[in-house]
A and B are shown apart, each in its own frame.
Chain A
Amino acid sequence: MQNNEQHWDMTITPKDKLLSVDWKEIWRYRDMYWLFVLRNFRVAYKQTILGPLWFLITPVLSVIVYVTVFGGIAGMSNHMEGVPPILFYLLGIAVWGYFSSCVSATSNSFVSNADIFGKVYFPRIIMPLVAVTTNLLAFGIQLLIFAGFYIYYVAIGTPMIIHWQIILFPFMIAILALMAVGFGMIFSSLTTKYRDLQIMLAKIISLWVYITPIIYPLSMVAEGNHKLYLLMSLNPVTPVVEAIKYSLLGQGMFDWLWLGYSVLCTVVLLVFGLMLFNKVQKSFMDTV
């Protein structure tokens, strides 16, 4: 009889409605979110030889290779409308790096956190949010490098164009982050069951960069290959990347309608991702 009056601190109920997001609950767990973010930041410093210097070395190395191989050997520098290749690639690498690392971190939510998820309850959706925040660190450092080179180029007298749309920059990054979370959540839900999807996702991301104007400007494609141009225009990352390039480098395209398409894709991906995520979080512990 006593059992009926038993008192629980909290009751965990499955999210039955596929789309329900318990915002209040997430808000209550905000300290946990910060703890995870802080932990990840600290991990970036501890047990490392060069510490956060790695965040500097990799983009610089990437830029050197990109400028030599894509800009030089493949001759893409000639199509950049006067933008210095170093700036073009630095910005591209930073933006793409942020997007792709958010996708892969989100898609690993279940698999890499299986240990914690198996032991304690907290809204699982926190993990993708943590990933998106943590990756901002590397992104910020790369933006600083970009700013450094930018100032250098301005100082030596290279004409640079900045458009007012630069104030939309945080908004652009938010779209990218949300799109990454949506896309990543879809995969995170599927990878618990099928492991080859992880390999497949890595492949998709590594090929995705080629249909995004990162290693070459979109205008270069517009001149000839129409099928590829269509494919690139349909890629929801393209409008955002182009808009960022337009506002910071003066090279690219800014089109509200096209951006609207990106936002629409983001919403669809997020809704779909949340549905799968909610469905899987109930039972994934048995299959992972």
Chain B
Amino acid sequence: MAKFESTYWTTEISPTTFAKGLGLKELWQKKYLIWLFIKRDITVQYKQTIFGMGWYFISPLFTMFMYVVVFGKIAGIETDEVPQPVFYLSGICIWEYFSTCLTDVAGTFQTNASLFGKVYFPRLVSPVSKVVSKLFRFSLQLFTFIFVYVLFVIRGADLQPTWYLLLFPVVLLTLQCLALGLGLIISSLTTKYRDLTNFFGVFVSLWMYATPIVYPLSYVENPTLHQIMLYNPMTSLIETFKVGAYGAGEFSWMWLGYSIGVTILLLLLGIHMFNRKQKFFIDTI
């Protein structure tokens, strides 16, 4: 019996709790693993595909074209005197990055079930690497945006970045943390309640319409609705980016601070729920 106690383990796996710093230290120790996952994810994004990386350059253009026709032409929405393609493309790029991060993080347990069942590593590695690796795709789409932007400037459109563009890293980081936090909460809930996955897709697409992507915030004239939209943490992030990129939009430090605050809360809650769930999920999934 005594023999058991003296057994030597290379690693000891214990449940992570709030008291132990949410397991963030362990996550940092495993940064090489995050890096490995990122490299794998990026490769997957263009291997065994027909169009390879080209698709990521082109796909926002399709969406942009459709929005210009439907919301710009048919519905006749005015875009704050910004050329419609530039206006829609800025929103599309940011939103696509956010929504793909969110969807991928939310599917963490489902897509990695077979891996999680076999080996141990801090489970947070996988959602964190997802958010980072999607930056690859985001930068390609951002390139398309800059290309169109420059094209319009050459053709004489009055577009000028403002100093608020310096806030872009802050916006991006908040966006990532928001997607991570919310995604972790949803992934923790979906291990037990599968149905949430199906309806999650609908929610994300509805959320987009509730964020000023297909219309500028200034177009919402109803004061109550305007106020409600500001409570959406994505609104001020998008607006900050737009103000920075071409000076049209509504920027306020207060609402940016609000978004950051909500993000921190959701992130902490998400990591906490995720850590609790990772102990049992393999039994329920």
CB contact under 8 A between A228 and B74, given known A62-B202, A65-B206, A196-B49: yes
Q: Which of B64-72, B80-88, B238-246 contacts its partner?
A: B64-72
The smallest C-beta distance from B224 to any residue of chain A, in angstroms, reads 11
A196-B66 Cα distance, complex, nearest whole Å: 21
Q: B199 an interface residue at 8 Å Cβ cutoff?
A: yes
Give the interface size class of chain B: 35 or more
A54 in contact with B210 (CB, 8 Å): no
Q: B112 an interface residue at 8 Å Cβ cutoff?
A: no
CB neighbours of A207 from chain B (8 A): 62-63, 66
Q: B59 an interface residue at 8 Å Cβ cutoff?
A: yes
Q: Which of B124-132, B147-155, B190-198 contacts its partner?
A: B190-198
Q: Can you name the residue of chain A whose Cβ is closest to the Cβ of B76?
A: A75
CB neighbours of A44 from chain B (8 A): 195
Give the interface size class of chain A: 35 or more
CB neighbours of B215 from chain A (8 A): 69, 73-74
Q: A147 an interface residue at 8 Å Cβ cutoff?
A: no
Cβ contact of A47, chosen from B74, B194, B209, cutoff 8 A:
B194
Cβ contact of B195, chosen from A47, A62, A74, cutoff 8 A:
A47
Cβ contact of B59, chosen from A68, A203, A210, cutoff 8 A:
A203
The smallest C-beta distance from B192 to any residue of chain A, in angstroms, reads 7
Partner-B contacts on A (CB < 8 A): 43-44, 47-51, 54, 57-58, 61-62, 65-66, 68-70, 72-76, 193-197, 199-200, 203, 206-207, 210-211, 215-216, 220-221, 224-225, 228
- Complex interface bits, B171-195 against A, C-beta within 8 A gives 1, otherwise 0: 0000000000000000000001111
Residue among A49, A210, A221, A224 having the largest count of chain B Cβ atoms under 10 Å: A210
Q: B113 an interface residue at 8 Å Cβ cutoff?
A: no
CB contact under 8 A between A69 and B193, given known A74-B75, A76-B75, A195-B48: no
Chain B facing A: main interface SS: helix
CB contact under 8 A between A65 and B210, given known A58-B202, A196-B49, A207-B63: yes
A195 in contact with B49 (CB, 8 Å): yes
- Complex interface bits, B47-63 against A, C-beta within 8 A gives 1, otherwise 0: 01111100100010011
Cβ contact of B219, chosen from A73, A199, A200, A211, cutoff 8 A:
A73
State the total of A-B contacts with C-beta under 8 angstroms: 97
16 A-B pairs with CB atoms under 8 Å apart are A47-B194, A48-B196, A51-B195, A57-B199, A66-B209, A68-B225, A72-B222, A73-B219, A74-B214, A193-B48, A194-B48, A196-B55, A207-B66, A210-B66, A220-B74, A225-B69
CB contact under 8 A between A200 and B195, given known A62-B206, A75-B75, A194-B49: no
B220 in contact with A54 (CB, 8 Å): no
Cβ contact of B199, chosen from A51, A54, A200, A215, cutoff 8 A:
A54
The smallest C-beta distance from B119 to any residue of chain A, in angstroms, reads 21
CB neighbours of A48 from chain B (8 A): 193-196
Q: B14 an interface residue at 8 Å Cβ cutoff?
A: no
CB neighbours of A193 from chain B (8 A): 48
CB neighbours of A73 from chain B (8 A): 77, 215, 219-220, 225
CB neighbours of B52 from chain A (8 A): 196
A65-B203 Cα distance, complex, nearest whole Å: 10
